[in-house]
Structure 1
């Protein structure tokens, strides 16, 4: 069995009875200690065969990276960038304006509605960028994020938005991640 896997499982008393959301908090610990594909594959086998975790649980604990950046890490960096953009000294959030909540409770507004609100409220380029980041954060993965941004750009073009506003919704790092998938 994998010594690293055994050490982590025993340290945090992980069991196959735990649900995937509980196990997901230990993903970074495994990825930090399992530095290459061979070690990760060995650890997956150890979790499945030795500790009797299901395949679903194993894929949550040790995601298949396939030579690309961990999606969780990328989305965390996007979230940090959005927060930094909205709270940096060069950009002050106007009084009464809140950064949109990217959670499902806020998902009632369609992308078309968002485009109309951007133009109706005459949002600044920085505000549009924050709104676009919130849209990115509401997506489950980079492909969906890229698709939602493309749809927002199309809606804005159809409504006659300036190219400056449309360009504010472009995030090359999201497009790159979506293309890698």
Structure 2
């Protein structure tokens, strides 16, 4: 490692008086030479002890690489920052190292880093240095464009999955029989749930658990809100589906890569007039729209509140994207 750094410094005439902008131009080349974590750590030490570069300069030259690609977990980076008492400039260097051409990926990484730092009671002045206004603006622009595209396209609703049809089937299902794929789809609509979450949900005392998005997120009960307002009936239908999955009578729709559920939804008799098929992720969106309709929202603000509750978005999330789920074309114009 020392030989690599020594050779590179000599060939490129690096010195501690160079600006961070100049040094950062060498980061990619050094990361390619120092191919694993141990070599990168040793390389930083060589720059500091052998050439009197500051810690900040060392991390500009050899940033934490591929953090968001599961090579170095965000949590461990946050712990190092706290343990080594990073100052504001050093924290900013870490944030820059996380920057990628993909603004959405960058925003996700920086958000996760801030959450981890908050858990470790890091001073706010350090956390704030990881905010990248340019990336945030670019991310917001992308989200706005995608939202406008969804508003223009929407989901074409087939008659088979209209509110009336789904509600009638939910009312008449006999839970003494084995549920089929149709029952699974209707219950998913009823609870506005992802296929992967159907096994984890629990309904009790007007509350729902099992929607927690992140492994470390506290799974507090959230308001029960669905197109089936009878909690006991909704609970009975959910348990019916869960027991069938557990016993193997019904396949698990949450298994990654399964195609049988998609195939079911693409049946000709389910296709709307536009022939655009439904996908499993659309069922959740249909459920949100139905919940808003059945709960008689009086205005847009109330509709978004009901939608967020039906989606079981965290009440602490003040930027809930419920509007992304409420665009359905009842009839193609």
With the length of structure 2 as denominator, give the TM-score of the two structures. Answer: 0.26
Q: Which has the higher contact order (CA 8 A, sep 6+)?
A: 1
Rg comparison, structure with higher value: 2
